[in-house]
């Protein structure tokens, strides 16, 4: 195995090169070799300056996250960083790729920094529920000012080399090849006798009195529930108020608090799950994929445009196929608006990926004949969609992939209606949460190559694709909403239920969320499944009553709430009347229900359905479910997703609480699913199954 760190000398300059693929993380081995070589170089009288440079695609992308939560091994990252800061000879960091977290902290302890133009730098620790814990919160405000430091550290925002230069975070933009440029920089610096600069010796000052308090207030809403952003602010306060060494100690205390918190554990879980989710059991990484160039989306409404955009983001040439001249005109107008918005966003965002390929809208059904991928995205019901797919199937070329986006259709039935069952898949885009998750639903006969192609496409569109055997998110949402509806008929009000789930960390509770996404879909789903519902669910007709009054949610101005012209939610006494009357009709005496009961019943209904989804093999792993819920339904990332959260609570105590609710009249549906029962009995969790 190649050494992790090597040192070579070039005249009186030493180049210390790291080689720890894929991202040169500061693992224990790297820290140990790096500090040994640095100590050697610092005491070698023939060496005047040291360049730290990395092989491979990036400069150090941070501490090694895989070591977090394990016994730390010396030297730790702060020790290596302080070793560099204290050096008597100048150290130059040569940056490329992504210099992040502990990597950027190390660079800030160097006495000069140069970077290739394509470099991006930043502190993403906050997204892992952490703060920069190796001096980053102390050095950055000293170097670039408190305002910029708050922006970068609290938001975990990456910036380009040009922006870093403007801020004074780096000293120069370097040319390729970086190693030689950095060497030349070091030689010039020595020749010119430039001063030995230590960021730790600068002073951090507030831009205005009360700046930190004002910043805290400005993030209060969007960072609601999170610990790390507020700890970041406190660490920056230490940079302003305390001498450097004491500031470091304060940063350490705050860092350790976060590292030990359940939030960071959950966010680190989410980080790895996001990467693991595309490695599907039974679908090897080397599964062949098809090269697709063109996609035709049948439909031009909202769903069609959203899915078309996803394929356009994967660089496919996408045409939306409208059914009528009016649909065509509307489609063209909508595309024009969204493309202008994309242009504006790309212009503002240094992190924006490549621009979306332009999309077209047409009436020409002949386009179907040559398309590589055809998406059925009409707004009709399951039968209409099946018929449409049948028509498409008859005209498309051999090898074309057919995608259905129907929220209702059974994928195996859909596939069976075509002559190409191995080339049929379902795709469900989710617009909640980060709106990044895509469920790729494979049918019984879908060819592995087709599944792998869809996974690759979604990934290159910047999505988080999850491969499943049937809809997962919507199926679990139905159970979650059903429990919330039971709570309404027992005595709760929509705002009470929503408040509890909002306080738990969801962006919106189940009723506000249903109103946002439209009640008609859930209502339709209920009608499709009506005969298979249990008696209590069948008799809980609240959703029918709301929808029968034309209240389909936000878009129709009313649902479980009323909405004003600006879309603000308003309590609606009419809904309360419906509830009270419904409870009376059902012979239910309305009662006060505690927040704890609301929370547990809604979440445990969700977890129980997740367990069934796993047991039936609809989702392969608990992490698939957690990704869908974090990125598609805004389940708070700092709780790690429903399955991770249940494990954190302890599955045995979840099971016991469920048994308690199941023993109440009408509570049988909360009987723990067999998988929950089995795991709880063995004192295991969804993740820890052995
Ligand atoms: C920190 O630094 C704390 C300090 O302040 C204080 C210390 C005291 N460690 O994302 P990719 C793996 S916290 C270990 O698919 P990309 C990743 O799991 C850290 N492993 O590639 C994956 O492995 P696998 C602050 C890491 O090109 C592989 O590398 N830094 C780390 O799309 C490829 O990753 C961060 O938070 C790591 N630090 O994106 C940066 N980073 O193939 C986190 C990555 O087995 N990393 N891996 O699944 C990233 O944001 C992206 O990985 C990066 C590359 C932009 C670097």
**pLDDT by residue (tens digit) across 26-64?**
999 999 999 999 999 999 999 999 999 999 999 999 999
Decide: 230 and 216 in contact? Cβ < 8 Å: yes
Rounded CA-CA distance 55/414 in Å is: 50
Q: What is the pLDDT of residue 72?
A: 87
Residue 327 bears catalytic tag: no
What is the predicted pLDDT for the residue at 350?
A: 46
Q: Whose CA is closest to 327, among 296, 312, 346, 305? A: 305
Q: How far apart are the first and last CA of the chain?
A: 33
Nearest ligand 1 atom to alpha carbon 62: 2
pLDDT at 357: 77
Distance CA 234, CA 186 (A): 36
Sheet of strand 359-362: strand arrangement: 359-362, 317-321, 294-298, 373-376, 401-404, 424-429, 437-442, 464-468
pTM of this prediction? 0.94
CA 593 distance to own-chain centroid: 33
Rounded Cα distance between 513 and 634, Å, is: 10
Q: How many CA atoms lie within 13 A of 320 on its CB side?
A: 32
Asked if omega into 22 is within 30° of 0 (cis), the reply is yes
State in Å: Cα 25 to ligand 1 middle.
7
Task: Count how many Cα atoms sit within 13 Å of the Cα of residue 681 in the half-sphere of its side chain.
Answer: 7
Q: How far is the CA of 164 from the centre of ligand 1 (A)?
A: 21
Of 239, 188, 170, nearest to 48 by C-alpha is 188
Q: How many CB atoms lie within 10 A of CB 82?
A: 17
Q: Cβ(334)–Cβ(305) under 8 Å?
A: yes
**144, two tokens:** 């670039």
571 lines ligand 1 (CB under 6 A): no
Residue nearest to atom 4 of ligand 1 (CA): 102
Q: Of the listed 82, 125, 175, 609, which one is catalytic?
A: 125
Sign of CA dihedral 567, 573, 574, 579: positive
Residue nearest to atom 28 of ligand 1 (CA): 22
What is d(CA 170, CA 119) in angstroms, rounded to the nearest whole number?
A: 11
What pLDDT score does 343 carry? 67
Q: Which of 326, 325, 331, 329 lies closest to 299 in space, CA to CA?
A: 331
Q: Spot the catalytic one: 105, 327, 513, 522.
A: 105
- Going from the C-alpha of 37 to that of each of 26, 61, 264, 598, the distances in angstroms are 15, 20, 33, 58
Which residue's entry shows tokens 């239920």? 497
**Any ligand 1 atom below 6 A from CB of 131:** no
Q: What is the pLDDT of residue 602?
A: 98
Which residues of the chain have a pLDDT value below 50?
A: 350-351
Residue 87 token pair: 């050096």
Q: Which helix (H) or strand (E) holds 611?
A: helix 595-615
Residue 160 CA: distances (Å) to CA of 31, 76, 507, 566, 587: 27, 28, 31, 37, 64
Catalytic site includes residue 376? no
- Residue pair 78/256 in contact by the 8 Å Cβ criterion: no
**pLDDT value, residue 433:** 81
What's the chain's length in residues?
690
**Of the candidates 542, 543, 549, which has an alpha carbon nearest to the alpha carbon of residue 582?**
542
Q: How far is the CA of 139 from the centre of ligand 1 (A)?
A: 22
User: Under 8 Å CB-to-CB from 28, ≥6 apart: which residues?
Assistant: 64, 67, 73
In sequence order, what E strands does 494-626 have?
562-563, 569-570
Q: Which atom of ligand 1 is nearest to the CA of 57?
A: 27
- What pLDDT is recorded for position 372? 96
Distance CA 48, CA 13 (A): 6
CA angle 307–312–317, rounded 5-degree value: 115
Q: Which two tokens stand for residue 241?
A: 């108020």
Q: Give me ligand 1 centre to Cα 356, in Å.
A: 26
Question: Which pLDDT value is given to residue 632?
Answer: 95
Ligand 1 proximity of 133 Cβ (cutoff 6 Å): yes
Pairing assessment for the beta strands 91-95 and 562-563 based on DSSP bridges: unpaired
Q: Cα(496)–Cα(487) distance, rounded to whole angstroms?
A: 10
**Is the beta carbon of 125 within 6 A of some atom in ligand 1?**
yes
Cβ atoms 252, 267 nearer than 8 A: no
Ligand 1 centre distance from Cα of residue 13 (Å) = 30
Type and span of the H or E element at 318? strand 317-321
Q: Count other Cβ atoms within 10 Å, centred on residue 41.
A: 21
Query: From atom 24 of ligand 1, which residue's Cα is the shortest distance away?
Result: 275
């Amino acid at each position: 195995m190649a050494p992790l760190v090597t040192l070579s000398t070039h005249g009186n300059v030493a180049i210390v090169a790291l080689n720890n693929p894929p991202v040169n993380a500061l693992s224990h081995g790297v820290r140990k070799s790096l500090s040994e070589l640095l100590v050697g170089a610092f005491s070698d009288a023939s060496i005047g300056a040291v360049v730290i440079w990395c092989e491979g695609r990036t400069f150090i992308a941070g501490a090694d996250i895989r070591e977090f939560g394990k016994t730390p091994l010396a030297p730790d990252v702060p020790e290596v960083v302080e070793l560099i800061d204290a050096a008597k000879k100048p150290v130059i960091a040569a940056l490329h790729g992504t210099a992040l977290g502990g990597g950027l902290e190390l660079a800030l302890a160097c006495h000069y920094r140069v970077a290739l133009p394509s470099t991006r730098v930043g502190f993403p620790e906050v997204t892992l529920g952490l703060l920069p814990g190796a001096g980053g919160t102390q050095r950055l405000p000293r170097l670039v000012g408190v305002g910029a430091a708050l922006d970068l550290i609290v938001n975990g925002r990456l910036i380009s080399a040009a922006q870093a230069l403007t801020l004074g975070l780096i000293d120069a933009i370097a040319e390729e090849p970086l190693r030689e440029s950095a060497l030349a920089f070091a030689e010039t610096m020595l020749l010119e006798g430039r001063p030995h600069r230590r960021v730790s010796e600068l002073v951090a000052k507030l831009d205005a009195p009360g700046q930190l308090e004002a910043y805290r207030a400005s993030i209060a809403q969007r960072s609601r529930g999170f610990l790390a952003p507020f700890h970041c602010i406190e660490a920056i306060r230490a940079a302003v108020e305390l001498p450097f060494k004491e500031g470091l100690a304060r940063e350490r205390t705050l860092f350790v608090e976060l590292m030990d918190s359940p939030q960071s554990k959950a966010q680190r879980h989410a980080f790895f799950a996001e990467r693991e989710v595309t490695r599907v059991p039974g679908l090897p990484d080397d599964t062949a994929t098809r090269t697709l160039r063109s996609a035709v989306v049948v439909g031009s409404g909202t769903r069609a445009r959203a899915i078309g955009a996803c394929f356009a983001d994967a660089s496919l040439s996408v045409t939306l196929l409208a059914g009528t001249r009016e649909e065509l005109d509307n489609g063209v107008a909508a595309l024009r608006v969204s493309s202008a918005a994309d242009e504006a966003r790309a212009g503002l965002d240094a992190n924006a990926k490549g621009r979306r390929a332009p999309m077209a809208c047409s009436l020409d059904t002949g386009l179907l004949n040559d398309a590589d991928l055809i998406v059925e995205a009409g707004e009709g019901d399951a039968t209409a969609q099946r018929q449409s797919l049948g028509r498409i199937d008859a005209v498309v070329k051999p090898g074309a992939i057919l995608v259905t986006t129907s929220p209702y259709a059974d994928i195996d039935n859909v596939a069976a209606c075509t002559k190409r069952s191995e080339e049929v898949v379902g795709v469900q885009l989710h617009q909640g949460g980060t709106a990044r998750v895509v469920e790729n639903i494979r049918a019984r006969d879908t060819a592995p190559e087709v599944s792998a192609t869809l996974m690759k496409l979604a990934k290159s569109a910047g999505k988080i694709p999850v491969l499943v055997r049937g809809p997962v998110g919507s199926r679990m949402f139905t159970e979650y909403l059903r429990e919330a509806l039971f709570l309404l008929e027992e005595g709760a009000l929509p705002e009470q239920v929503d408040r509890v789930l909002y306080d738990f960390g969801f962006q919106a509770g189940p009723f506000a969320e249903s109103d946002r996404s439209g009640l008609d879909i859930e209502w339709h789903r209920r009608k499709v499944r009506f005969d298979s519902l249990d008696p209590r669910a069948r008799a809980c007709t609240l959703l029918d009553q709301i929808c029968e009054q034309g209240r389909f949610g936000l878009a129709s101005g009313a649902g479980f709430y009323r909405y004003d012209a600006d879309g603000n939610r308003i309590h609606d006494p009419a809904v309360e009347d419906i509830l009270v009357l419904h409870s009376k009709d059902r012979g239910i005496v309305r009662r006060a229900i505690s927040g704890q009961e609301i929370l547990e019943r809604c979440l445990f209904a969700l977890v129980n359905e997740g367990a069934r989804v796993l047991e039936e093999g609809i989702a392969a792993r608990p992490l698939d479910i957690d990704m869908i819920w974090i990125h598609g339904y805004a389940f708070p990332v700092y709780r790690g997703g429903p399955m991770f959260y249940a494990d954190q609570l302890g599955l045995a105590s979840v099971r016991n609480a469920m048994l308690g609710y199941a023993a109440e009249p009408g509570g049988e549906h909360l009987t723990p699913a067999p998988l929950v029962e089995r795991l709880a009995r063995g004192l295991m969790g969804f993740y820890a199954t052995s």
